[in-house]
Amino acid sequence: MTPRRLLLPLLLCLLLVAMPQAPAAGAPLVPPPSERATAPVQANPQPFAARYRLEVSGWPSTSIDHRLFQDGASWFSEMRAAIAVARGEERSRFLVEEKGVRSLQYTSGYSLLGFGGDYRLAPDDLASLPDRQAALFELSRRAVNGSCSGECELRYQDHRGREEQMNYRVVGAETLSLPSGRFEAVAVKVNEPGKPERHLLFHFHPELPGLLLAAEFHRDGERRSRLSLTHLTLDD
C-alpha cells in the first residue's frame, strides 16, 4: 500500500487504524462483559473529541484528531492528521436513522510531498450509499448493537464516490489498557473482498458509537500500523 493510499484509509479510522494511565476525565465507566446484559445494547451517539496516536511502519508517528458533534438533526464526524510530508482530513454530515446512517455531505483533502487534492460529495452523490466517515460510525454502531452476526457486509463510497465494500465480523469483547485509560472494547475484524492477505482490526467503545479505542492494520501476517486513543473529552 502506498503512503498516499495508507494515509487516506487510516483517516477513515482509519487507520483507515500502548499503555496504562488514569482514565480520561469524564470517560464513562463500562462494566466488564460478565456484568453486562446479554441482550444487544442500543448505543446512542454522543458528542466527543478524541486524539489518537498513529504508528505506521517506516513513517514517523503522528496524531489524529477526531470529533463527533451534532447540529440540529445532523451529526458531523471529522478527522485530521498531519506529518512533515503529508496531511489529510475528512468531514461528513449525516443523519442517524433506525435503519442506518444517511449521508448528507462529505468533504476531504490530502497533500503528500506537495501533491494532493480536495474532494466533495453532495447529497445527490450520497443518495444510495454513505461516505466512509459515516460508514465508520455505522460499523461501530452495528458492532455494538449486535445487528449482524457471523460474516457481515457494509457498502459505502470512497472519497471519489466509488463504491467500496467491507466484510466484517464481531470478534468479541476485550479489555484494553491505553494511554488514555482502561476500557472495555468491542473488537471487529474487517476484510476487503478479494484481499485475504490484509485486514483491519478495530476496537470500538461499547457505549460511544464512532469512537475508536484502537485499530491495527495487518498485511501478510505482520502488523503494519497501529492506532490508539490517547485523549478523550465528552461534550455535554
pLDDT of residue 24: 33
Residue 8 has pLDDT above 70, yes or no: no
Tell me the pLDDT tens digit for each residue of 169-186. 999 999 999 988 899 999
Q: Which residues contact 228 (CB under 8 A, 6 or more apart)?
A: 18, 52, 53, 178, 179, 213, 214
How high is the mean pLDDT of the chain? Answer: 80
Q: Residue 49 burial (CB < 10 Å; 0-12/13-18/19+)?
A: middle
Tell me the pLDDT tens digit for each residue of 106-143. 999 988 777 778 999 999 999 999 999 999 999 999 99
Mean predicted confidence (pLDDT) in 87-94: 92
pLDDT of residue 113: 75
Mean predicted confidence (pLDDT) in 102-106: 97
Give the C-alpha separation, 110 to 82, whole Å. 9
Tell me the pLDDT tens digit for each residue of 136-152. 999 999 998 887 888 99
Comparing 68 with 111, the larger pLDDT belongs to 68
Of residues 232, 228, 210, the one with CA closest to residue 46: 210
Mean predicted confidence (pLDDT) in 218-236: 89
pLDDT of residue 206: 93
pLDDT of residue 61: 81
Residue 42 binned pLDDT confidence (cut-offs 50, 70, 90): low
Q: What percent of the chain has pLDDT over 90?
A: 51
Q: Kindly report whether the global pTM for this prediction surpasses the value 0.85.
A: no
| Amino acid letter, residue 60 | P
Give the C-alpha separation, 78 to 63, whole Å. 14
Residue 43 has pLDDT above 70, yes or no: yes
Q: Which residues contact 194 (CB under 8 A, 6 or more apart)?
A: none
Of residues 161, 166, 202, 210, the one with CA closest to residue 185: 202
The cell for 198 is: 490484509
pLDDT of residue 27: 34
154 to 34, 92, 166, 206: CA distances (angstroms): 29, 17, 5, 19
